[in-house]
Structure 1
Amino acid sequence: MKYVVTGGAGFIGSNLVDELVSEGHEVHVIDNFISGKKENCNKDAKYHDINIAKEVNLSVIEKVLDKCDTVFHCAALARVQPSILNPIKYEKNNTIGIMNMLKCSVDMGVKRFVYSASSSAYGSTKKLPSKESDMPNPISPYANQKYYGELCCKMFSKVYNIETVSLRYFNVYGERQNLGGAYATVVGIFLNQLINKNPLTINGDGNQKRDFTYVGDVVSANILAAKSKNVGKGEVINVGNGENISINELAKNIGGEVVFNEPLNEPFANLADIKKAKKLLDWEPTTDLISWIKNYKKTKGLK
């Protein structure tokens, strides 16, 4: 099988590329390396340095998609807070990028399009766990853009007859996660602070809760979504652990001094209802955050 992974030099995309290569597939990666890293590249995959948001590159994208079976669209400028600071930059990359990839996929006869969506589409909600049937309420440019991508996938499935499925990720962590900078998540930030013997910085009182999902479980969900006969009509599927913990509890398990900052504009809690993923993809998570942290600290010699 020939697979194309956009954003395949990034955190999630590179882990997906490694798994696809290990299964013996022909894997092509489209990445402009804005946030992707050269050290994440797999020697057995072919890389194409292309900005998918630029219309001038459509013909080049189409060449990469020639005889492609499935596109995994992982490329995006990620994270909520940077999108609030740079909404136009994020809009150009995230919304135009998916539209270009969908149109090129249709034109080149790609069978299926698997989209990396986001649980941020749920926004602030008191109704937990979140089900795919719940009304979206995006409260940031990033969340709005990722939700727009879902709508595009559903529309393209109906209008252009391409199989699509959107996977709503919940707070992904694991190998190759960013440990610092604008694209780092709280797990990466805390680990980086621990490594550098700095206090763990918590925004707000730390009672906010998150459903953390291991990157290996996200990869398996993508591969199942590409192969399942139960999806392909624009379905939206939660990919989470089905359990959440507070930021205070996360900090306690990572260890170290804690300091508190002003709260950010973000949902107080999230939690995935993963029944749909189990039913349609025969998928369920295999790794819990606390066990992963213990193993990570052990391998890095951290206390």
Structure 2
Amino acid sequence: LAGKADIVPSIEHPDIYYATNVQGTFNVLECGRAANIKRLIYAASSSCYGIPDVYPTPESAEIRPQYPYALTKYLGEEMVLHWAQVYGLPALSLRLFNVYGPRSRTTGAYGAVFGVFLAQKLAGKPYTVVGDGTQSRDFTYVSDVADAFACAAASDISGEIFNVGSGHHYSINELVGHLGGAVEYIPKRPGEPDCTFADIQRIRTQLGWQARVDFATGVARMLEAIELWREAPLWDAGSIHEATRSWFKYLGDH
């Protein structure tokens, strides 16, 4: 959970992302091995699937990272599984899908749609919706994700990968409908899937976990905590265009 996130900074500074997400994970694994730790749960990213062919997407789906953040998180996961295999380190990996909830980060690079939209709502500005808004995401509430980590920590399973998702997916237009307000549509970005949707059969069967917070409830909780985004960056179409130049430059058609 201490890794580097965000897409654009990973494109612009892959060295920093490698040092943190790959070398940093190696350091944690070696320290854990030396300390004979009882358990290690790795926070992996569903971005490793890239643009999948199968929905809901199982853990066995082809790995297709589209940018350095996704790649470095996947490399970290591979090391965790390798240390479990070779050194017997009791570890497993959770591939997280579109986590949201109060007290998420409100500063930094242009990123998660919830934070962008909440700051825009506070300012009375239109929501900047990428593409036509029909793209959908497996929004998974933070308390459910915390429960998944607790279940993983309490199990004796090692060397396995589990998707952590809500079991549903919702369009960005549906999210806007819950939030209420005007919309401004901006160009679709390359390298982003039209849908993220986790197959959670494995974690439900082996760890007994499944999400409990439905989307409408989760959005309502975000709105109750909207003041947390009062000082968050306010993005508009122009600033998003500038912030994503590297995205279009390197991930667009070559």
Category of TM-score, reference length = shorter chain: 0.7 to 0.9
- The aligned counterpart of 1:129 is 56
Asked if 1:212 corresponds to 2:147, the answer is no
Residue 298 of structure 1: how far off its partner (Å): 4.8
Which string of whole-angstrom CA distances, capped at 9 and with x for unpartnered residues, describes residues 48-85 of structure 1? Answer: xxxxxxxxxxxxxxxxxxxxxxxxxx111112233123
Q: Is contact 2:95–2:162 with CA below 8 Å preserved after alignment?
A: yes
Give the alignment of 1:1-303 within 5 angstroms. 74-182=1-109, 184-229=111-156, 231-232=157-158, 234-265=159-190, 266-298=192-224
SS at match of 2:204: helix
Q: Is contact 2:165–2:200 with CA below 8 Å preserved after alignment?
A: yes
Q: Is contact 1:118–1:147 with CA below 8 Å preserved after alignment?
A: yes
What one-letter code is carried by the residue in structure 1 that aligns with 2:53?
K
Deviation above 3 Å: which 4+ runs of structure 1?
298-301
Where structure 2 has 5 or more consecutive residues not aligned to the other structure, the ranges are 228-254
Distance in 1, matches of 2:88 and 2:18, equals 26
In structure 2, relative to structure 1, the CA distance for the partners of 1:86 and 1:300 (3 Å cut) is closer
SS at match of 1:286: coil
Which string of whole-angstrom CA distances, capped at 9 and with x for unpartnered residues, describes residues 122-161 of structure 1? Answer: 1101310000111211111011111111110111011111
Distance in 1, matches of 2:221 and 2:30, equals 43
TM-score, scaled to structure 1 = 0.71
| Mean CA deviation greater in 263-272 or 173-182 | 173-182
Q: Is contact 2:167–2:200 with CA below 8 Å preserved after alignment?
A: yes
What one-letter code is carried by the residue in structure 1 that aligns with 2:181?
G
SS at match of 2:2: coil
Higher strand share: 1
In structure 2, relative to structure 1, the CA distance for the partners of 1:222 and 1:298 (3 Å cut) is closer
Distance in 1, matches of 2:11 and 2:131, equals 18
TM-score, scaled to structure 2 = 0.84
- The aligned counterpart of 2:248 is none
How many residue pairs get aligned? The number is 226
Residue 180 of structure 1: how far off its partner (Å): 4.7
Where structure 1 has 5 or more consecutive residues not aligned to the other structure, the ranges are 1-73
